[in-house]
Amino acid sequence: MRLLVGLGNPGAAYMRNRHNIGAMAADEIVRRHRFSPWRAKFQGLYSEGLLAGQKLVLLKPETFMNLSGQSVAAACRYLQIEPADLVVLHDDLDLAPGKVRIKQGGGAGGHNGLRSIDAHFGNDYWRIRLGIGHPGHKDLVTPWVLGNFAKSDAQWLDPLLEALAENMAHFLAGDAPLFLTRLAQAGPVDLSKTQDYSGDS
């Protein structure tokens, strides 16, 4: 069994925020693979199904980002999840929009959701880092991550979420390189040279 966590803030007001790209990815996996409807448990919403021949539980913490670890730790205790079987999908300011990186363990990189998970569960889990770009100055970070994706972002965001859901089985089967290759083939655009960081449109 694996636990896949999509980080974000709860409620309709945050649904399209850049900070919620992890939760958006979890929604797309549930939709594409026809997992069970989202249900309330573990201080969050969870869904389950089979993927890559194994049971997969998805979790969207409802604790708000800074307390994500409470929800994740509760689910891990109940499901008896080991660190190597926990995968966290989250936004990453240090990656250009549409770029994806995978790592196991390491620091939180300033991400409050990861920092909370580290405090409650340790840090030896998998992270799928989904690039949202950086606004260019640290004072703009909070309104940037809590702002909605721009309409123009759909050109890379929609293909990315679809490819991620379609190819997640490769990652779960232990083939992270193939997973990343398939994401690249889907054509998410690197907008690092053209993205307008002045605000949403």
CATH number at residue 159: 3.40.50.1470
Q: What is the pTM of this model?
A: 0.90
Range of the domain at 128: 2-185
196 inside domain: no
Of 85, 99, 101, nearest to 132 (Cα)?
Answer: 99
Q: In the chain, where does DSSP find H-type helix? A: 21-32, 68-79, 112-121, 141-145, 154-172, 176-185
117 inside domain: yes
25 inside domain: yes
193 inside domain: no
Q: Is 33 a catalytic residue?
A: no
Q: 154-174, pLDDT tens digit by residue? A: 999 999 999 999 999 999 999
Q: 19-65, pLDDT tens digit by residue? A: 999 999 999 999 999 999 999 999 999 999 999 888 999 999 999 99
178 inside domain: yes
Among 19, 90, 111, 170, the active-site one is 19
122 inside domain: yes
Residue 194 has pLDDT above 60, yes or no: no
pLDDT at position 185: 84
Total number of domains in the chain: 1
